[in-house]
Amino acid sequence: MRNFISLLAALLLTGCETLAYYAQAVGGQVSLMSSTRTVASLLEDKSTPPTLRARLEFARAVRDYASRELKLPDNGSYRSYADIGRPYAVWNVVAAPEFALEPKQSCFPVAGCVSYRGFFAQADAERYAAELRAGGYDVYLYGVTAYSTLGRFDDPLLSSFIGLPDAELARLLFHELAHQVAYVKDDSTFNESFAVTVEREGLRRWLLATGRGLAGWLEAEARNQALVAEIQQTRARLQQIYRSRIAVEAMRERKRRELDELKQKLSGRFKDLAPNNAFLASFATYTELVNEFEFILKENGGDLERFYAQVRRYAASAPSNRGPLSKPSP
């Protein structure tokens, strides 16, 4: 109840321009919360469909592993379930200027500034995306199966992701729980890169512990890293183009060629994706600091509790004092 009152207070203090946005956010969260049932009660209920029962049992085992072995928060998150009746929990909209790779920031009373804006209704996301495109922004709109309330609520398992393959479901739970370990206001790249680091290390350990085969994961990671490298190279070339002093039309043409080439390289994995600055900005948010976080984990001998403690110290420091994360020498 205290968290709900805080949300209402934030809503009442908001100007009219964004009042509708906060209203949908509060309404969406309240609707989700009202439809949850505990996993324990669903497993005891004989009317629970066998397929759902099996997925809930699996999710409960992963959730227990996350706290017991990965030292992630042991609380009520992912101990309940909600059927939301739609394929995604929210739809995120990322925007970036035509000739820049920095995402447009959206700022909120609780979460601070983030590099996207989320909507519980797809139509609302599409309207906002259309407004941004009309203003000259590159826009990337995508559905999200899960999101974190940073421990302010007990986030439930959702119908949007409960049916994911085992490894993907485990990866998602590790990622979302990591947001409850450390979170920096106004720094989406820090937050998401940290969560990706935890999900990757968590999945590696879980695969080893459950005997599900590490070889397949290593092969998939190698493919992912090759894709990451391609995207990073495109970002670097575009950065150079955007910093140059060439005419606007020439810059636009060089941008088009770079993005067309990237689309061809991504076609096997993202065949319907039309990459743009907003996509590249979103991609960087989740990958830019992963290598540095992984080095910090290695420095701490793979001890997750020590790793989390060091990350929290970084998170608590002012941005001017945080500086670059510890990383290996080039």
Length in residues, the chain: 330
Give the start-to-end residue ranges of the domains of the chain: 1-34
What would the pLDDT profile of 177-227 be if each residue is shown by its tens digit?
Answer: 999 999 998 899 999 999 999 999 999 999 999 988 788 888 888 988 898
Q: What amino acid is encoded at 307 in this protein?
A: F
pLDDT at residue 110 in the model = 63
The pTM of this model reads: 0.88
Who contacts 237 (Cβ-Cβ below 8 Å, separation ≥6)? 258
- Alpha helix locations (H) across 211-272? 214-243, 248-266
Distance of alpha carbon 127 from alpha carbon 75, whole angstroms: 37
Would you say residue 329 has pLDDT above 50?
Answer: no
What would the pLDDT profile of 150-174 be if each residue is shown by its tens digit?
Answer: 888 899 999 999 999 999 999 999 9
Would you say residue 125 has pLDDT above 50?
Answer: yes
Instruction: With residue 143 as reference, give the H or E element that holds it.
Output: strand 138-144
* Residue located via tokens 């997925």: 55
What would the pLDDT profile of 217-271 be if each residue is shown by its tens digit?
Answer: 888 889 888 989 999 999 999 999 999 989 999 999 999 999 999 999 888 777 7
Judge contact between 232 and 280, C-beta under 8 A: no
Q: How many beta carbons lie within 10 A of that of residue 273, not counting itself?
A: 14
DSSP string, 40-98: HHHHH-TTS-HHHHHHHHHHHHHHHHHHHHS----SSTTSEEE--SSS-SEEEEEEE-T
Q: What amino acid is encoded at 174 in this protein?
A: F
